[in-house]
Amino acid sequence: MQVIVGAGSVGTIIAGRLAAAGEHVKLVSRSGGGPVHPLIERVCADASDAVALRSVAAGASVIYNCVNPQYYAWPTDWPPINRALIGAAAANDAVLAITGNLYGYGPGPFGPDRPMTEDMPLAATSRKGRVRVAMWQEALAAGIRTFEARASDYISPTSSIIEMALPALRAGRTAWLPGALDAPHSYTYIGDVAQTLITLAADERAWGRAWHVPSPPPMTARSLLGTVARVGGLPAPRLRSYPLAAVWAAGLSDRFAKEFREVRYQHVKPFVLDSSRVTATFGLTHTPVDEAVQSVLGSDPSGSIARGGSVPSKSTSE
């Protein structure tokens, strides 16, 4: 039996793929939601409740951390959730598979000044980056079997640049974005995040290390949204970037905009992910961008397109 904590995009895809492979799955969230399948047991529980989570996870071989608190609440909400997940994994001798991101690398001289690799120092200067670093270090220090699959901003229907721009694209209006339009940027398809977590959870070579999820060559926001328009049969996108002053002003009244300020560096300069290590070790490769976008736009709602094994987002559903 495998337990997935968090019924957002990634957790839902993992649940569907495991169930399709004949695995009994518990999908845990505050709402108790998720896909309906005979092998998916939907459980209502608070991920920060260590006692409840340990009980729910009894007998689990793998526990997937696919939960993500609200962006502005990471410093307060993540620590108890992380401790509860680590405790549940320790109590059940389960592998803890962590859905990670790139916040921990921080800005230059190690972060986006060169392609990010798994051996780079975790030199985060942002509050959210330091939270992610502490989570990973705590998991390693706990002596459990664990790994982290780190992805860049998602190619996803939610918590993504696509979600941000799509209403304007469909209406033929100008889409406004908070970052640079033409800076090279790595994007990671959510289906590849799910497949990487599933594959690495079953392979002891992955444990005790961080791995980058297979991602396509860097694109710009303009090129990604151009692909979205082309694949979706939409008019060529009209895009504008908010000036820095507007981003800062928005932060006075909007919590997400306020939190975005400290990680804006990820979206105004090259922000490139090197995922060659996971490909060389496990044979995993990224889904072609057109197929990923087609899935996100709804032709494959389950996100089941995968290769080689079958913005970091502001928040995902728990």
User: Residue 230 CB: number of other CB atoms within 10 A?
Assistant: 13
Q: How far is CA 305 from the centre of its chain?
A: 17
**Which residue has tokens 């569907």?**
16
pLDDT at 287: 98
Query: Of the given ranges (22-31, 81-90, 210-219, 297-306), which has the lowest mean pLDDT?
Result: 297-306
Domain boundaries, the chain: 2-299
For 213-257, give the DSSP string: PP-PSPB-HHHHHHHHHHHHTPPPPEEEE--HHHHHHHTTT-HHH
Q: What is the mean pLDDT of the chain?
A: 91
| Percent of all residues in the chain with a pLDDT value above 90, rounded to a whole number | 80
Q: What is the mean pLDDT of residues 145-171?
A: 95
Residue 184, preceding peptide bond in cis (omega within 30° of 0): no
For 27-83, write each residue's pLDDT tens digit: 999 998 889 999 999 999 999 999 999 999 999 999 999 998 998 999 999 999 999
The most confident of 102-111, 230-239, 298-307, by mean pLDDT? 230-239
**Encoded amino acid at 247, one letter:** V
pLDDT at 304: 37
Q: 0.95 exceeded by the pTM? A: no
Under the banding of pLDDT at 50, 70 and 90, the label for residue 302 is very low
Find the angle CA(10)-CA(6)-CA(72) to the nearest 5 degrees.
Answer: 95
| Percent of all residues in the chain with a pLDDT value above 70, rounded to a whole number | 92
The alpha-helical segments, DSSP class H, found in the chain are 9-20, 50-56, 74-92, 127-141, 161-171, 190-201, 221-232, 244-250, 255-260, 276-282, 289-294
**Encoded amino acid at 142, one letter:** A
Under the banding of pLDDT at 50, 70 and 90, the label for residue 250 is confident
> In the CATH hierarchy, which fold is given to the domain comprising 2-299?
Rossmann fold (3.40.50)
Residue 109, preceding peptide bond in cis (omega within 30° of 0): yes
Q: What is the sign, positive or negative, of the torsion defined by CA atoms of 293, 299, 303, 309?
A: negative
For 94-135, write each residue's pLDDT tens digit: 999 999 999 999 886 555 678 999 999 999 999 999 999 999
Q: Which residue has the higher pLDDT, 35 or 141?
A: 141
For 256-298, write each residue's pLDDT tens digit: 888 888 888 899 999 999 999 999 999 999 999 999 999 999 8
